[in-house]
Structure 1
Amino acid sequence: METTTPWLQRPPSPAAAGRVFCIPHAGCGATVFANWPEEKDGVEFLAVELPGRLTRFGERIPDTFEELARALIAGVAPYLDVPFTFFGHCWSALAAYEVAVQLDRAGLPAPARLFVSSQPGPQEELTGRMIGMTEEQLAGELEKTVRAMGHKPHPELVSIYVDVLRADIDVSLRYHVPDPPRLSCPITAVGWTDDTEVRPDEMSGWAVCGDTEFVVFPGVHHRFIDAPPELLAVLHAAVAPRAA
């Protein structure tokens, strides 16, 4: 199986029993999942490359989550031939939800389960420290993420990605769904014990969007970057073949 889609960094394996599509959060590219394994017991983890960053830097960032979801679905449609799921953290949890909504509306295969981390439901009023931040403050947030990935921030790259982060924030500000459609697939809402950005109890609104399981793992807001075994285990279990 070969791929020329810009949405994925590598060709999906034709032997995969399941696939986890991992969507980067605001202001970041697919390298935020650099610590994640490519494969675990037949299930592959595929980092999604979004327009406007890394290998797609010259492309326009979609204005809305609806536009982003339509394009993403078209880009990965050939690889929805085995059980799959989407994982989204914070900003990208809303993107993942909109992807699932559009898959349902189009009568296309639905995720085995949708995973949303550190993000209130789409019907909630959007809040968060970054909304009113200055460019300098946004740069500081990006530097934190880079350090969490184990790298040293490069000033010029941070300056460039501030614009990406600002554009992503604007996309989220345009997305508010007062009466969110219920998904045909179940949802797992992931909270983190030491998350000071989004407390686990602030995620209860996802129950409106479908049959929802709530789990809380140890760690801070960006703990997912470290590929926590407990998170990988639930993602894997959602799409792994069931024992006969």
Structure 2
Amino acid sequence: MTTPQPRPKKPPRWLLRRPDPDAPARLFLFPYSGCGASMYQAWPRRIGAIDVCLIQPPARQNRIAEPHYGTYETMARDLVAYLRPYLDRPFALFGHCGGALPGVEVTRHLAAAGLPLPTRVFVSGQVAPHDGPYGRLLELDRDGLRAELGHIITRLGGQPSGPLVEMGLQVLVNDLEANKRYSPGRITLPAGVTALGWSEDTEIPSGLMGGWRDTSADSRFVELDGDHFAFLSAPPALLAEIRRDFGAVAETPARWEQTVG
């Protein structure tokens, strides 16, 4: 009698859904601390011709059984290896608050590996790496973070039940630890940077985001109307900035649209 062989483990799925092979451009979205990719549920599937691709880090949602990545450097190393097949057309990275810095580190890893670079790095509601770590949540204890997580779940349209909060609490703690450990100093990214501040953001006031001007030879700062969570609803002004900095490729019809037309 033969001994059953263990089934091979499936490779980690860093994207919540597979990229559209016909889209002329891609935007990869990073979730912020304590959350998974589904936090972008209100965002459109496409922004113009840009395919919206949702990055799912380990230790949350459909990857809850996997160990936490630990540091942004480790996350970037593993994510870059996964993304190689999807870097065959113009792409950009977007992250808000704790989700902004992983995009910075991914860009640095892409450059070090000689791989295609993003057309743009969009950083929202976060200070530049050399001005951090910064944020009220970084100073809270577990009880304080538990209360904050309940607030985040409510903002995302969920009900902050005890088990749900407790399940996400350790993820939030580990995500914040990664933020605290990230100290690359002054960096120059080999890609354009668009820093997006929010007029009513009390967590990361837009006036603290000026350091992003020093991170790229092609950088600009935009202040949009709204508070720290305004980006969740994909406001038209935010999507317009993304389309603007992608350039003409954002308006290129996908192949399926050309066929239908």
Instruction: Give me the TM-score of the superposition, normalised by structure 2.
Output: 0.87
| Number of the residue aligned with 1:161 | 168
Aligned equivalents of 2:106, 2:47: Cα separation in 1:
24
- Alpha-carbon shift at residue 129 of structure 1 (Å): 1.4
Are residue 230 (structure 1) and residue 232 (structure 2) matched? no
* Paired-residue identity, %: 37
Whichever residue aligns with residue 204 of structure 1, its letter is G
Cα contact 2:48–2:251 (8 A) shared by 1 = no
Alignment of 1:23-172 (within 5 A): 23-172=30-179
Aligned equivalents of 1:142, 1:67: Cα separation in 2:
25
- Alpha-carbon shift at residue 90 of structure 1 (Å): 0.7
Larger radius of gyration: 2
Secondary structure, in 3 states, of the residue corresponding to 2:183?
coil
| Number of the residue aligned with 2:5 | none
100-109 or 20-29: bigger deviation: 100-109
User: In structure 2, do the counterparts of structure 1 residues 78 and 225 end up closer, same or farther at CA, with 3 Å as the change threshold?
Assistant: same
- Alpha-carbon shift at residue 217 of structure 1 (Å): 0.6
Alignment of 1:171-190 (within 5 A): 171-180=178-187, 182-190=188-196
- Alpha-carbon shift at residue 5 of structure 1 (Å): 5.4
Cα contact 2:48–2:250 (8 A) shared by 1 = no
- Alpha-carbon shift at residue 165 of structure 1 (Å): 0.5
Aligned equivalents of 1:156, 1:73: Cα separation in 2:
33
Cα contact 1:21–1:85 (8 A) shared by 2 = yes
Are residue 14 (structure 1) and residue 9 (structure 2) matched? no
Cα contact 2:213–2:221 (8 A) shared by 1 = no
| Number of the residue aligned with 2:198 | 192
- Alpha-carbon shift at residue 134 of structure 1 (Å): 2.0
23-32 or 101-110: bigger deviation: 101-110
Structure 1: runs of 5 or more not aligned: none
Cα contact 2:91–2:119 (8 A) shared by 1 = yes
Structure 2: runs of 5 or more not aligned: 1-10, 253-261
Whichever residue aligns with residue 116 of structure 1, its letter is V
Cα contact 2:131–2:211 (8 A) shared by 1 = yes
Cα contact 2:243–2:250 (8 A) shared by 1 = no
Secondary structure, in 3 states, of the residue corresponding to 1:171?
helix
Aligned equivalents of 2:33, 2:58: Cα separation in 1:
12
User: When the two structures are aligned, how many residues end up with a matched partner?
Assistant: 240
Instruction: Give me the TM-score of the superposition, normalised by structure 1.
Output: 0.93
